[in-house]
Structure 1
Amino acid sequence: MTDDAKLLADLTKSPPASARDFTDRRSFLKNATATLAVAGTTLVAPSILRHSLAAQTESEPMSQNAFVYTELQISAPFDQVPWQRINNAIKAQPGFINKTWLSGVGNLSAGGIYAFDSVVNAQKFVTGYFPEEARGFGVAQTTRVFDAVATREASLDMNSAHYGAKFDQIPGAFVYTEVQLHVLPFDNGPWRDFNPILKQQPGLLSKTWLSGLHTGTVGGFYAFDTIENAKRFAIDYFPTETKALNAAFYTRVFDADATKTASIDMASPFYA
């Protein structure tokens, strides 16, 4: 076991907050479910590179074509994670643009959301560098690759930091979601119906939509003002949507304050 791995041990999880009722949105979700059903049956293959980000705006100085989500199965306070060493190694990875570090609320897992210049370089990262990093810690790991081009319009509409949006305040929490649905192409999905509803969620600052490479799973990376509002969204509100869609889902809540310094060092767009 490495010296870094020895730092990571024996911390217990905190219990989740109690759920609260939310307003029934049956009519909206019924329409959204119908739209997803159509999207899932009309196309069967991804088209990851069908668009180009050649035309960049001033707020988008770098071309991002893929996002990567990672999470290590560790439990350690973030100040015990050797993020300086890891940052230096990740900065040298081909096509890397930025990373926002993640520290799990309750379980103290460590991970990140990354932007890469191409799907090819994102795949190299998740099949080459990252498994070796996890091996060094002696822990299991999770990785996902997403098509950043397909979700650009939907994310811009949600004040996505990954596309240059600025905030009046620094995020206090992040939320990651992924729903077990096949929606390809992404634009066939009901994001235009969902966005107005999501914008009403208490404390939401930003969302970057996610579309799974090859899988067509639908997800998102959210920034919230506080951990309380992030947990309320992930624990209470989000399950009401996925239940109506009859789909399994995955949610994670992260402490943005704990990883601020490490994320700034990695050019995280949330602290620009």
Structure 2
Amino acid sequence: MPAKAFVYTELQASVPFTDVPWEKLNAAIAAQPGFVDKTWLSGLGTHSVGGLYGFASVDDALLYCTEFFPALARDFGVAQTTRVFDNQATAEASAAMDAPHFGGKITTEPGAFVYTEVQVAVPFENAPWRDRNPVLREQKGLLSKVWLSGHNTNSLGGLDAFDTVENALDFALNDFPKTAAAMNAAYYTRVFDARVTEAASRGLNSPYYL
């Protein structure tokens, strides 16, 4: 079942991933309506806990964000962040960047992920991704990119897979701020250690580890 929507989540918690009961959580997450896959995310230096999920439809994604995940955050006693993205608009752009959700193949397992979101409202058909993709392909250590376009917001962003934490940090700290400045927009970045979440992500069909 192909995913037609993505969900990004992050709990405002500091929990080393070795202490996360991910096997129990995987069973509950996999049972949610329309669930396709999840890549677990563990915040570098913060130990926040979250993920990027695929769902069969935007409605399934919204149900997860309005019912299951808020209840989970209450159980943990922490605030939370959720975002919903309609991946149909970004499929061509993502496939061109070897995104494994769209048939792309990466030959190296990721060492880190970078989540980005720019505070703009640009329908994705008007986004300059054809100009941006060749520039991104020159980014040191970049393995793939999933473009993200906010449901109801048209924010622009993505989840980028890197070979190492060092290259992910270089992108988040040095390259992406220049991109946001050129757009004259505030932005949001997060760096995640992909090594510690590999087993949990494999358990939920993450396409980065298949």
The question of a shared fold, defined as TM-score above 0.5 by the shorter chain, is answered with yes
Identity %: 59
Aligned equivalents of 1:190, 1:167: Cα separation in 2 = 24
Aligned equivalents of 1:258, 1:68: Cα separation in 2 = 21
1:86 and 2:25 equivalent? Answer: yes
- Residues 97 and 104 of structure 2 are in contact (CA less than 8 Å); yes or no, is this contact kept in structure 1? no
1:215 and 2:153 equivalent? Answer: yes
Report what 1:133 is aligned to: 72
How many residue pairs end up in the alignment? Answer: 210
- Residues 164 and 269 of structure 1 are in contact (CA less than 8 Å); yes or no, is this contact kept in structure 2? no
3-state SS of 1:269 partner: coil
Write the letter of the residue equivalent to 2:95.
L
Aligned equivalents of 1:263, 1:271: Cα separation in 2 = 8
Aligned equivalents of 2:121, 2:106: Cα separation in 1 = 32
Residues 111-144 of structure 1, C-alpha deviations (whole Å, 9 max, x = no match): 0000000000000000000000000000000000
Which of 65, 68, 91 is 2:4 aligned to?
A: 65
Aligned equivalents of 1:152, 1:204: Cα separation in 2 = 18
Q: TM-score, normalised by structure 1?
A: 0.77
- Residues 84 and 262 of structure 1 are in contact (CA less than 8 Å); yes or no, is this contact kept in structure 2? yes
Once the two structures are superposed, the pairs formed by residues 187-266 of structure 1 within 5 Å of their partners are 187-266=125-204
3-state SS of 2:125 partner: helix
Structure 1 consecutive aligned stretches of length 4 or more whose deviation exceeds 4 Å: none
Write the letter of the residue equivalent to 1:132.
A
Structure 2 gaps, min length 5: none
Q: TM-score, normalised by structure 2?
A: 0.99
Give the RMSD, CA atoms, in angstroms: 0.6
Residues 144-200 of structure 1, C-alpha deviations (whole Å, 9 max, x = no match): 00011000000001010111222211100001000001111x111100000000110
3-state SS of 2:208 partner: helix
Larger-Rg structure:
1
* Shift, 1:63, TM fit: 2.1
Structure 1 gaps, min length 5: 1-61
